[in-house]
Structure 1
Amino acid sequence: MQRSYLLAPSILSADFARLGDEVQKVSAAGADWIHFDVMDNHYVPNLTVGPLVCQAIRPYTERPIDVHLMVKPVDALIPEFAKAGADIISFHPEASEHIDRTLSLIRDCGCQAGLVFNPATPLVWLEHVLDKVDLVLLMSVNPGFGGQKFIPSTLPKLRQARALLDRYEAETGRHIWLEVDGGVKVDNIAAVAEAGADVFVAGSAVFGAANAHDPNRYDSVIAQFRAELARIDREGA
């Protein structure tokens, strides 16, 4: 089955001194979503950005802002990010005392809801909440830092998730996005797509791929990603 593919560059690897400009340029180059990584130095060993930064970049793009909350506890931040302009909010099941309630909170705030799975987190958490999930995000690195290498065991897990989501879509007619984050590059995106992903987060592969003085750097690397995905479509046709 031919799928639509979306690219979601992660601002974690952008130049934070020029963040609005970076978001604007990567959007113009063809990014589908802007991926926004939130870390609290508690759930993960790093500290990044909060709702005020999300609010600050909102005027620089019309693309959906895809907020990934790597924080614990999680519920208090959800309304704040919704007010700041987030379109999608995802969280880790380990960070919520009541997963169903947290998913409902995200939707009640007017956003799409996602559930995130670390490399060693089993997909069994999805079993009773698929009706409230709009996106499933599989981490292909351990969360906390950008620039890590893709963990190969993510590929069979992606296939497992893809089969589950395809069965659900066949039964309900509702599509759930399958996103992957961590070490996605031009030379492995085809394998990740073949395993079932349809949304691809790329940080250093986009923002760090070319010379910072090259105004066409984002166009070039996003075109390379698109070419690889188009090849998969041609070969699968």
Structure 2
Amino acid sequence: MLVSESDSEKKLVQLKGLLSLDKPDLERCGLLLRELNIDFLDKTFLPIVDETKLTELHLARDVLECGAIWCILKEDHQCFNRYMAQLKHFYFDLKQHLPTSPRQYEIIGAHLLNLLSQNRVPDFHSELELLDCASLHNNRFLAYPVLLEQYIVEGRTNKAFFEACQNPPTPYYAFFSRILENTTRRNMAVCIEMSFTCIPKEDVKRIFFTDDDQFIEELVAERHWILEKEKAFSYATELERII
């Protein structure tokens, strides 16, 4: 049974309305997305762009963008990766045929932030090469992850944590920013082990810019740090970690 374009458009309007709510019904959004993905299954990677297909391409792109937002709201970065992989076809391969989406840079910025949060720095820089320099500096959605990466590379983690991570240009970035903060702290832990023989217990929270006791406990367990006389953490050797 063929689904009419108007039926798909109605579902898309309903989906956009749900996603715009303060507390959207993510389960209902997922059901609508599943139906829309089936409706546009054969339109996501059209080999030839024809004028008559532009409306379908617009709708298919809107569906994928809603899917990316849905993944962020349910805090599923793997799901977001899958939607982003399809959106790149529209954003870059079809850019000569489709106008820039109002949400394009917001979603690309989320993608860049996601790569940083997963410590995929080479992939982050590869993605930057697809974008023009003016947009990277002038577009607030793109400038945000670029600035964060600059702060982290320069070792200005206080800037990254207290300025940039606290003021994302869109609420959709908060999820990835939280992951990035902890990824950065884990990278800091590796550097600290290479530079110091131990860390005073009383300084741990200050060093890692956090008051989260649970995160500190997880970090200590992950790195196999040893609390000596309740005063300082020392580090296990590689052999001790394996054992």
TM-score if structure 1 supplies the norm length?
Answer: 0.28
Please identify which structure carries the higher helix content: 2
Structure index of larger Rg: 2
Please identify which structure carries the higher strand content: 1
The structure showing larger relative contact order (alpha-carbon pairs under 8 Å, at least 6 residues apart) is: 1
